[in-house]
């Protein structure tokens, strides 16, 4: 959308190395003539002869007298100059005409005063020669002083950083010859900012301040204009040229210098008690090129974080920070921050055409500064917003964005090379889910890096999954209501500190998954909601925008710039932070228009269906882009419905007519719900719910699944995993261990939330995290909890060493039932196989009784079986009912197989047996 704009006046836009002579209108010429009246014109009113003489001299080349006068016009301190304010640079004015009275030194600040002085001088010197008249005329057309310019020396390309002095007095400069403008360009115009532009700059509604402010070629020379609220003076310094600009009031300063082209220059800005030596932000070309703007407009800028936001950089040889933000509905945008005392009045951004992007390069601004964007909305009101692309933020509850850049040097190249060798669904994949802020409360990213990798590696997990680390204002949301999509939460450190943690996990051989939340965002009025005064990131239809469950806003997935924002964000975490996988939150809420909505609260799609076609297209684009650009990364969908093709390739159309969504894995919410429901029943009732443990195999190969026991299952009245088990404390722990053994053997990958690895009895709370005191050797029941943790370690160890448990997770050839209908016994038994047919036998007894000589059919080509895992072992806190010796098959057919074995099944246990 094209931002609303008004005419920027007649000031031409500066381009590199280009002179744009401005052609004034008749009205402008008339106005300029009045404002730049010279003694020649005053004398013309007195006598016709003087007028003709002046005209004749103007048409001719400079006379010797004029040249002599120019040579004498050098800066010098006069008695009047010594009395002037020390904060301003005075240039002595010297009479050049024969018998002329000395010109009265003045610090006049308006053209009107100059005209009055000129008229007075004209009355006293009506008989002066035309050459004197012409010399006085040239003085009157300058801003306040006779600017001098050297043609030999040029200013250096790179400028020093801003300097402050204790006084505003500028050192005197040695006089140099003036390079005058040709006579044909001497029709001077007023350099002052016009009334319309002035009003728009003051009100924050100017779309192109660079066309007004800065330096611009105009008839008569180069016009310099500055907008510096609260400044007492502004002086232009360009090599040997020093000229104090006219104070036009309200922070505006201007001057016209007789130069042929725009020079490189600096500004000396005088404030009360100090002078700031700085670059002019409005002399620079845009920092974004046409390709960036084209890709942004098309919604195809895959590295959007490199274009938008705040980036310390060197631009045109000058060190500073470039700011850019997408706000197509804004009437104006300004940058406010610690560097301008949160007053953005003097730092207006320019609109870069129809892209909706606003841009400004601020010299001498660097890392660590806080900033926001002050946006003028369509109704003229203003709002102060955090940067949607901010890569660092203040620590909540503070909400400012922070200028930052990364200097981190990675040490995980070997890990990155190795991770792409095997697809995730064909590799061992057991995940430890962590809420970083509460895993060890009070630890920073770097302190976590000293503890978390070692702990996870010791337990044998292949990956950690981090609950959202993107910045969020409310800790109680656990990170699922994001305001800073490109910034790791500042609660635990800087972005480079987070990189350090990821690097440490990689060097320990641990993959890093991250929860990613593209479904919705909160309504905070300093963040994304109605960002530029109108719905922008959210859908313009209020029914489509409002999320009915969480009080948040849903993204407008149909808008290409919004899709670009999110797709680029997915890449950002993978490329900038080396994240190995994204678990995408709340996918189901994105896919359905009627999600949690009643009839009449949603509008069908173009085909009359309830599918959100925009969200489908977004997820397909995100997955395809991530897999194309980042080898070895996996995307995981938290999708709780039976949507067809969540993990199918995007170019493969399914029965529903849609291509696949393109995810690598999907959380098996059905398995989680059913299996936990079964385990919550008293063992005597479990035979009536046996199907809840077997139904998952009906659809086990419809997608590539992860079996999740996540944070959602152990909070807010849901009880911890061990507390879901019925019976006394011994039975609860036994059921907990048996369930973990069944879970690790079932087809699919595993995910376990922190605290459940040692049977924490309390629900998780983000306020205090896991109950680590349960593992204190001084605690009486510590062996009970340590035993469960030891079991998790052994399950992971055997799992990773046994390809049958993961190699064919998504292939029906990797699974065979031994017995799935022993409901009365509460027994389940099945084989897992690797591609070569090597099996592992998993048997679960969910009854609290020992079953002696329990016969199971087995393959006849395995000569003997031995226990690899028994969850009832004494070291885990069990009753130690085991099968210590190898078990040999008998030639008795059973369960439809030619051979069988007899086992002792411990109570409430799972046993794994491998070929001996």
- Interatomic CA distance for residues 570 and 563, integer angstroms: 11
- Interatomic CA distance for residues 910 and 321, integer angstroms: 61
Partners of 665 in beta bridges = 636
**8 A C-beta contact, residue 375 and residue 330:** yes
- Interatomic CA distance for residues 591 and 441, integer angstroms: 36
Q: How many CB atoms lie within 10 A of CB 250?
A: 12
- Interatomic CA distance for residues 795 and 459, integer angstroms: 9
- Interatomic CA distance for residues 632 and 506, integer angstroms: 13
Query: Torsions phi, psi of 241, nearest 5?
Result: -85, 130
Instruction: Give the chain's end-to-end CA distance (angstroms, integer).
Output: 70
Q: Which residue has the tokens 């139904």?
A: 695
Say which of 292, 471, 556, 638 is annotated catalytic: 638
For residue 585, indicate whether it is catalytic: yes
- Interatomic CA distance for residues 327 and 337, integer angstroms: 18
Q: How far is CA 878 from CA 179, 213, 739, 849, 882, in A?
A: 97, 80, 14, 13, 10
Q: Which residue has the tokens 């395809």?
A: 624
Cis upstream peptide for 481 (omega within 30°): no
- Interatomic CA distance for residues 798 and 791, integer angstroms: 11
Please tell me whether residue 846 adopts helix, strand or coil conformation. coil
- Interatomic CA distance for residues 515 and 525, integer angstroms: 24
Say which of 277, 532, 561, 585 is annotated catalytic: 585
Query: Torsions phi, psi of 540, nearest 5?
Result: -70, -20
Cα pseudo-dihedral 262, 263, 264, 270, rounded to 10: -90
Per residue in 826-864, is it b (16+ CB within 10 Å) or e — as a string? bbbbbbbbbeeeebbbbbbbbbbeebeebebbbbeebee
- Interatomic CA distance for residues 653 and 83, integer angstroms: 86
For residue 638, indicate whether it is catalytic: yes
Partners of 751 in beta bridges = 431, 708
Please tell me whether residue 238 adopts helix, strand or coil conformation. strand
- Interatomic CA distance for residues 466 and 577, integer angstroms: 13
- Hey, what long-range contacts does 299-304 have (CB within 8 A, 24 or more apart)? 299/559, 299/560, 299/561, 299/563, 299/564, 300/564, 301/564, 301/568, 302/567, 302/568, 302/571, 302/625, 302/629, 303/568, 303/571, 304/389, 304/564, 304/565, 304/568, 304/569, 304/572
- Interatomic CA distance for residues 334 and 688, integer angstroms: 67
What's the CA angle centered on 339, arms 334 and 340, to 5 degrees? 55
Q: How far is CA 367 from CA 321, 364, 407, 500, 909, in A?
A: 8, 10, 12, 19, 58
Q: How many CB atoms lie within 10 A of CB 172?
A: 15
**8 A C-beta contact, residue 228 and residue 195:** no
Q: Pairing relation of β-strands 350-351 and 382-385?
A: unpaired
- Hey, what long-range contacts does 877-884 have (CB within 8 A, 24 or more apart)? 877/733, 877/737, 877/783, 877/784, 877/787, 877/788, 878/734, 878/737, 878/787, 878/906, 878/909, 879/734, 879/906, 879/907, 881/850, 881/906, 881/907, 881/909, 882/906, 883/911, 883/913
Q: How far is CA 900 from CA 770, 818, 845, 853, in A?
A: 44, 10, 18, 11
- Interatomic CA distance for residues 519 and 363, integer angstroms: 38
- Interatomic CA distance for residues 463 and 883, integer angstroms: 32
| Active site amino acids | 585, 638
């Amino acid at each position: 959308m094209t931002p609303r704009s008004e005419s920027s006046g007649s000031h031409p836009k500066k381009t590199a190395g280009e002179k744009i002579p401005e052609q004034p209108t008749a009205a402008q010429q008339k106005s300029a003539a009045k404002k730049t009246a010279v003694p020649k014109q005053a004398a013309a009113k007195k006598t016709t002869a003087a007028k003709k003489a002046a005209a004749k001299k103007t048409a001719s080349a400079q006379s010797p007298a004029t040249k002599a006068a120019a040579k004498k016009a050098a800066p010098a301190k006069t008695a009047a100059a010594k009395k002037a304010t020390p904060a301003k640079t005075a240039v002595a004015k010297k009479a050049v005409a024969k018998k002329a009275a000395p010109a009265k030194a003045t610090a006049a600040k308006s053209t009107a005063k100059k005209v009055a002085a000129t008229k007075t001088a004209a009355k006293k010197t009506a008989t002066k020669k035309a050459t004197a008249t012409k010399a006085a005329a040239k003085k009157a057309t300058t801003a306040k002083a006779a600017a001098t310019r050297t043609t030999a020396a040029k200013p250096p390309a790179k400028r020093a950083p801003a300097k402050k002095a204790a006084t505003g007095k500028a050192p005197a400069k040695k006089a140099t010859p003036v390079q005058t403008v040709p006579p044909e360009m001497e029709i001077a115009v007023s350099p002052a900012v016009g009334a319309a532009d002035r009003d728009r700059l003051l009100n924050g509604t100017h779309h192109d301040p660079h066309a007004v402010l800065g330096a611009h070629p105009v008839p008569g020379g180069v016009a310099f204009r500055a907008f510096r609220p609260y400044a007492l003076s502004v002086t232009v310094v360009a090599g040997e040229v020093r000229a104090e600009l006219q104070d036009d009031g309200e922070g505006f300063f201007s001057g016209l210098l007789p130069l042929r082209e725009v020079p490189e220059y600096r500004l000396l800005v005088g404030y009360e008690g100090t002078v700031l030596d700085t670059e002019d932000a409005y002399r620079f070309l845009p920092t974004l090129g046409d390709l960036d703007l084209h890709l942004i407009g098309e919604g195809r800028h895959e590295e959007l974080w490199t274009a938008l936001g705040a980036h310390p950089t060197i631009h045109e040889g000058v060190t500073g920070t470039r700011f850019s933000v997408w706000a197509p509905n804004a009437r104006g945008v300004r940058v406010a921050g610690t560097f301008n005392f949160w007053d953005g009045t003097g730092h207006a951004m320019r609109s870069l055409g129809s892209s909706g992007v606003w841009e400004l390069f601020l010299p001498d601004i660097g890392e660590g500064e806080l900033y926001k964007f002050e946006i003028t909305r369509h109704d003229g009101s203003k709002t102060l917003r955090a940067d949607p692309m901010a890569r660092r933020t203040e620590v909540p509850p503070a909400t400012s964005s922070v200028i930052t850049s990364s200097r981190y040097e990675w040490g995980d190249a070997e890990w990155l090379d190795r991770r792409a060798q095997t697809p995730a669904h064909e590799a061992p994949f057991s995940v430890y889910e962590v809420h970083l802020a509460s895993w060890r409360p009070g630890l920073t990213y770097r302190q976590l890096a000293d503890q978390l990798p070692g702990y996870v590696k010791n337990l044998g997990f292949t990956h950690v999954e981090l609950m959202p680390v993107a910045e969020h204002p409310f800790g109680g949301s656990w990170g699922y209501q994001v305001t800073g999509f490109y910034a790791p939460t500042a609660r635990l450190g800087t972005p480079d500190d987070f990189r350090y943690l990821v690097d440490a996990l990689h060097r320990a051989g641990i993959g890093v998954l991250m929860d990613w939340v593209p479904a919705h965002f909160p309504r905070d009025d300093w963040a994304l909601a109605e960002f530029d005064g109108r719905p922008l990131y959210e859908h313009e239809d209020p029914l489509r925008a409002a999320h009915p469950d969480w009080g948040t806003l849903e993204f407008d997935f149909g808008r290409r710039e919004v899709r670009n924002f999110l797709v680029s964000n997915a890449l950002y975490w993978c490329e900038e932070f080396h994240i190995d996988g994204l678990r995408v939150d709340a996918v189901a809420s994105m896919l359905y228009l009627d999600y949690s909505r009643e009839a009449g609260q949603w509008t069908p799609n173009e085909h009359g269906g309830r599918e959100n076609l925009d969200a489908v297209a977004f997820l397909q684009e995100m997955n395809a882009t991530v897999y194309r650009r980042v080898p070895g990364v996996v995307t995981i969908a938290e999708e709780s419905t039976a949507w067809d093709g969540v993990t199918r390739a995007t170019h493969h159309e399914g029965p529903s007519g849609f291509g696949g969504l393109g995810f690598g894995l999907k959380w098996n919410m059905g398995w989680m719900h059913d299996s936990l429901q079964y385990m919550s029943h008293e063992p005597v009732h479990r035979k009536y719910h046996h199907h809840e443990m077997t139904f998952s195999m009906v659809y086990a190969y419809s997608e590539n699944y992860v079996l999740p026991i996540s944070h959602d299952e152990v909070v807010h009245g849901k009880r911890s995993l061990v507390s879901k088990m019925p019976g006394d404390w011994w039975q609860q722990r036994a059921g907990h261990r048996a369930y973990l053994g069944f879970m690790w053997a079932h087809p699919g990958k595993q995910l376990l939330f922190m605290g459940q690895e040692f049977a924490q009895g309390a629900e998780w709370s983000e306020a205090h995290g896991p109950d680590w005191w349960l593992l204190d050797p001084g605690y009486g029941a510590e062996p009970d909890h340590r035993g469960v943790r030891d079991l998790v370690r052994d399950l992971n160890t055997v799992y990773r060493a046994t390809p049958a448990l993961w190699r064919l997770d998504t292939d029906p050839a990797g699974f065979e039932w031994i017995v799935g209908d022993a409901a009365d016994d509460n027994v389940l038994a099945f084989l897992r196989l690797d591609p070569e047919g090597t099996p592992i036998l998993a048997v679960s007894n969910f009854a609290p009784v020992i079953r002696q000589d329990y016969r199971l059919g087995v393959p006849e080509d395995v000569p003997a079986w031995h226990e690899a895992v028994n969850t009832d072992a004494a070291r885990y806190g069990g009753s130690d009912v085991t099968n210590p010796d190898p078990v040999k098959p008998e030639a008795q057919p059973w369960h439809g197989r030619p051979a069988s074995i007899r086992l002792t099944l411990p109570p409430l246990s799972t046993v794994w047996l491998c070929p001996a």
